[in-house]
Amino acid sequence: MSARVAALAAGAIAIALVLAQDVYPATPLYHGWQYALALAIALVVVLAYANGARRGDDGVVGRRLIVAMLGAAVVAVAGLAAGLLGPDTAQVIGTPGTVTPVPALGAAAFFAPADADAIASGGAGVILRRHNAGEIVLGPPSRRVLGESLVYLEARPAAYVDVYDENGAHLTVTQPTNASFLSPVLLFHDRQRIGALDVPLDTFATPARHRIIRALYFSAHDLAQFDHAGAQLDSSRPGLILSASDDQGRSLGITLAPSGRGIVFAGLRIRATIGTYPALAIAAAPPTWALVAGIALFMGGCIWGVLRPRGRIARSRQQRAQGA
């Protein structure tokens, strides 16, 4: 393999790696030392070729490819700098209606209040309030680059739980095991493995009726697997598998609560509205300008390098004419 091919391959790989970091920022692979080492090796290969090309080692084409190498180097350095100077990958989970400090951004995140409809639609957003700076409103599809940080929303499973007594009177829902004690919105911080499935888990209580209820979140797809096993389940929408106990720890049974449909269970009427609520995701990201400029230089340099030099074209025409 010639030095030119190796350098072009290294440049392309570096760009692909950094682009992947920008497109899929939450993947842990990009925050390992192996990723940084790969980028650094690519950078060394690219710069070594550019240095040789500058001395004329690869002729006119090599000199032209210096532009492409410069572009690849810009992207690789941007990717390395984002990893070194940017924040750690983090996910901030906030209860609807609360404010959570985000030191990595020097900001506070206000998680929008959410009722059952907002959970069902998954339309709730997050507002970032920075000291001496404006507010940044993040909706579900949006993402913003703040310095070396990329911030965006990740939809997490959530359920809004309404509980009534046998007379239809609304009951207080608490979450004794969570920081958000007085929230009827389950955010499923934990997970539980059931056979091949790894499903989100949360717990809530109704102190007025001394019930503690564990809720396992099942997507419609997961429920369909149970359907195949012969169970008579509504697998067209997500549901919660609820298991209840009293405050003495005695089991009071297990049932399925399909989203939005009221059920009677353990002496309670429960309606769980299942959907999503956003978590604020923070990841290191290369600056957009560096990506755009670097890729443009790399592409431009490659195209320029492929074009035959004018002097050579002229000489070749002259030779053909003389031959004729």
Partner 1 sequence: MRRLLVIVVVVFLSGCYNAPDPGGAASGGPGALAGAPAQSFDVRRTDGRPDSLARYRGRVVLLNLWATWCPPCREEMPALERFARENAGKVVVLGVDQGEAAAVAAAYARERGVTFPILVDEQQQYGRTYEGIGLPTSVVVGRDGRIVKGIDGAMTIDQMRAAVAPALTR
Of 11-19, 94-102, 219-227, 269-277: span binding partner 1 (CB under 8 A): 94-102
Q: How far apart are CA 162 and CA 271, in angstroms?
A: 5
Strands of the 197-206 sheet, one edge to the other? 190-194, 197-206, 211-218, 239-246, 251-258
Per-residue tokens: 178: 């969570």
Q: How far apart are CA 126 and CA 124, in angstroms?
A: 7
**40 contacts partner 1 (rule: CB under 8 A):** yes
Contacts of 160 (CB under 8 A, 6+ apart): 114, 115, 116, 119, 120, 184, 185, 186, 272, 273, 275
Of the candidate residues 62, 71, 87, 286, the single one contacting partner 1 (CB under 8 A): 87
Please identify, using beta-carbon distances, which residue of 126 and 223 lies nearer to partner 1: 126
Binding mask 268-287 for partner 1 (x = CB under 8 A): --------------x-x---
Of the candidate residues 72, 80, 216, 257, the single one contacting partner 1 (CB under 8 A): 80
Of the candidate residues 92, 201, 212, 216, the single one contacting partner 1 (CB under 8 A): 92
Please identify, using beta-carbon distances, which residue of 168 and 195 lies nearer to partner 1: 168
Of 59-67, 175-183, 235-243, 289-297: span binding partner 1 (CB under 8 A): 175-183
Of the candidate residues 16, 37, 133, 137, the single one contacting partner 1 (CB under 8 A): 37
Q: Under a CB-based contact definition with an 8 Å cutoff, are residues 111 and 50 in contact? A: no
68 strand-pairing partners: none
The DSSP-derived string for 166-224 is TTS-B---B-TTSS-TT-SEE---EEEEETTEEEEEEEEEEGGGTEEEEEEEE-HHHHH
Q: Least distance from C-beta 6 to partner 1, angstroms?
A: 16
Please identify, using beta-carbon distances, which residue of 70 and 80 lies nearer to partner 1: 80
Binding mask 106-145 for partner 1 (x = CB under 8 A): -------x-x------------------------------
Of 2-10, 130-138, 185-193, 222-230: span binding partner 1 (CB under 8 A): 185-193
Per-residue tokens: 14: 């570096």
Please identify, using beta-carbon distances, which residue of 182 and 231 lies nearer to partner 1: 182
Counting residues that bind partner 1 (by CB under 8 A) gives 51
**101 contacts partner 1 (rule: CB under 8 A):** yes
Q: Measuring CA to CA, which residue among 300, 276, 283 is closest to residue 20? A: 283
Of the candidate residues 2, 55, 88, 232, the single one contacting partner 1 (CB under 8 A): 88
**DSSP structure class, residue 159:** E
239 strand-pairing partners: 218, 258
Q: Least distance from C-beta 135 to partner 1, angstroms?
A: 13
Using alpha carbons only, give the angle 159, 165, 166 rounded to the nearest 5 degrees. 125
Q: Please count the other Cβ atoms lying within 10 Å of the Cβ belonging to residue 207.
A: 13
Of the candidate residues 54, 144, 170, 317, the single one contacting partner 1 (CB under 8 A): 170
**Residues contributing to the site for partner 1 (CB under 8 A):** 28, 31-37, 40-41, 44, 80, 83-84, 86-101, 113, 115, 169-173, 178-185, 187, 189, 207-208, 282, 284
